[in-house]
Structure 1
Amino acid sequence: MIDFYRFKNLSNEPDCMHAVTKKDPNEPYALSLALHTGEALDEIVANRQKIIEELDLAEKTYFVVAEQTHSDNITVITQTGTKGWEALEDAVAESDALITDLPGVMLAILTADCVPILLFDRKKKVAAAVHAGWKGTRSQIVLKTVRKMVEVYGSDPADILAGIAPSIGICCYEVGEEVAKHFVDIPEALSQKGEKYMLDLPAVNHYQLLKAGLLEQNIELSGVCTACEVESFFSYRKEEGCSGRFMSLIGVR
């Protein structure tokens, strides 16, 4: 039995399907789901297939994965079909946020410390998955994704639920001034540690969601630091360059 992390707010929406995968020491590569890190392709695809079998999904479900490049590029998925699931070649090119209103399409983000954010408009039935490392967060990718949902689908930010999934926390994310300088205008973002800074990327994305118009009560933070809970989630920093990635998925049922 594969274990998932789930958000309470998204789980309460019957039209939303979502899950965040966790490590499993009994599976190949501890259930890593990354095709781009050099592991045996057939075993990673088999891991992905196990995820499908464990999820409570619609009868026919398609999976969309992007080539993540730490950009603020957003792709709206308007055609049903699977992309980037069994091979890198057909992944959505250079995109760090995916949006769709197509039922039966699951959007997927791969991370190992960066912040995965799942969004769901419960009125318009629109789902989005966002990958926000420090560069994407600096570019306000989650705020831009909300604005794209408003622009394309007429979403009201007050109707959007957000789940900020496990990622590296302020307890473990030490950065230099060259990174910290981009977040000094957000009081909760930083704490100084000698000549270095501890950066709270989940808090910055939370701040940007509020700035985008989401209601505080509609934003759920996991509170899970991937570096602290490395037994359950891959952490690039804690594991000193690990190749494993876990997956955050969301779609419209």
Structure 2
Amino acid sequence: MVDFYRFEHLERFSGCMHAVTMKDTSAPFSLSLALHTGEEKEQIAVNRKMIAESFGVSREWCFVVADQTHSDNIHIVTKKETRGWESQESAVADCDALITDQKGVVLCVLTADCVPVLLYDPEEEVAAAVHAGWKGTKSKIVAKTVRKMQEVFGCSAENIVAGIAPAIGKCCYEVGEEVAQHFFDLREAFTTRGDKYMLDLSFVNKQQLLDSGLQKENIKMSGICTACEVERYFSYRKEQGCSGRFMSMIALL
């Protein structure tokens, strides 16, 4: 069986399932789940099958993966169909956030330092999975996803529960002014190191959720830096351009 990271506050809800995968050196490519990074697709398919079985879903469940492009594009999954799971060609094109009210659909985002955010509204029974790198964070993709949940499904922000999964932390994410300048309005998001900036993207996404109306007690952060915990999570920065990706998943029951 595969080990997952899970959020305790999301675990309390019977209407959804979620999980964040971790490395496993006994699996092909340390249990990377990316089809787009050049590994043998047959071996990645083995990994994905292992994850699906460990996640505990039936054969009738569908998995939806997007072709992530660091955009602020959001896709609404309106029917049960698998996309991007068996092949990259079938992935949702040019998209970095997925939302659904369909039960039995697993929304998936792939990361190796960027910020994965899982959202769940237990009242309207809506789930979302968001991929927020610095470009997506700059364009406030997580706030736009909350807004889309409100507009399309009538969600109330105060009911939405959020889990901010492992991502590179301020301790390790050094950027230049060309990146940091986009977050200068949130002074707590960074510290300076010479002419460089140590940026906390998870904190910025949390603040965007708060600004969107989510309750502070409904937002939980893993507190895990992927670069510090590189034995457990893939880190593009720490591993100097690694091709591995771990997956954050959420589904309605």
TM-score grouping bracket, smaller chain normalisation: over 0.9
DSSP-derived class of the 1:118 partner: strand
**Counterparts in 2 of 1:46-195, with a 5 A limit?**
46-58=46-58, 60-195=60-195
Query: What letter is aligned with 1:142?
Result: V
Query: In 1, Cα distance between the equivalents of 2:114 and 2:232?
Result: 15
Is the CA contact 1:130–1:142 (under 8 Å) kept in the aligned structure 2?
yes
Q: How far apart are 1:234 and its partner, in Å?
A: 0.1
Query: In 1, Cα distance between the equivalents of 2:3 and 2:218?
Result: 25
Query: In 2, Cα distance between the equivalents of 1:165 and 1:188?
Result: 20
DSSP-derived class of the 2:35 partner: coil
Q: How far apart are 1:79 and its partner, in Å?
A: 1.3
DSSP-derived class of the 1:103 partner: coil
Query: In 2, Cα distance between the equivalents of 1:148 and 1:252?
Result: 18
Query: What letter is aligned with 1:168?
Result: I
Structure 1, residues 103-153: CA drift from partner, whole Å, max 9, x if none?
000000000000000000010010000000000000000000000000000
Match of 1:211 in 2: 211
Match of 1:24 in 2: 24
Between the two proteins, what is the percent identity of the paired residues?
62
Match of 2:233 in 1: 233
Query: What letter is aligned with 2:178?
Result: E
Q: How far apart are 1:55 and its partner, in Å?
A: 1.1
Match of 2:200 in 1: 200
Q: Answer yes or no: is 1:250 the counterpart of 2:237.
A: no
DSSP-derived class of the 1:204 partner: helix
- Structure 2 gap segments, 5+ residues each: none
Give the structure-1-normalised TM-score.
0.99
Query: In 1, Cα distance between the equivalents of 2:217 and 2:123?
Result: 16
Match of 1:222 in 2: 222
DSSP-derived class of the 2:48 partner: helix
Query: In 2, Cα distance between the equivalents of 1:2 and 1:93?
Result: 29
DSSP-derived class of the 1:226 partner: coil
Give the structure-2-normalised TM-score.
0.99
Q: How far apart are 1:187 and its partner, in Å?
A: 2.0
Q: Answer yes or no: is 1:12 the counterpart of 2:8.
A: no
DSSP-derived class of the 1:172 partner: coil
Structure 1 residue runs of 4 or more that deviate by more than 6 Å after TM superposition: none
- Structure 1 gap segments, 5+ residues each: none
Query: What letter is aligned with 1:156?
Result: S
Q: Higher mean Cα deviation, 111-120 or 181-190?
A: 181-190
Query: What letter is aligned with 1:8?
Result: E
Is the CA contact 1:17–1:57 (under 8 Å) kept in the aligned structure 2?
no
Q: How far apart are 1:231 and its partner, in Å?
A: 0.3
Q: How far apart are 1:188 and its partner, in Å?
A: 1.4
Q: How far apart are 1:211 and its partner, in Å?
A: 0.5
Q: How far apart are 1:60 and its partner, in Å?
A: 2.1
Q: How far apart are 1:230 and its partner, in Å?
A: 0.2
Query: What letter is aligned with 1:248?
Result: S
Query: In 2, Cα distance between the equivalents of 1:14 and 1:174?
Result: 39
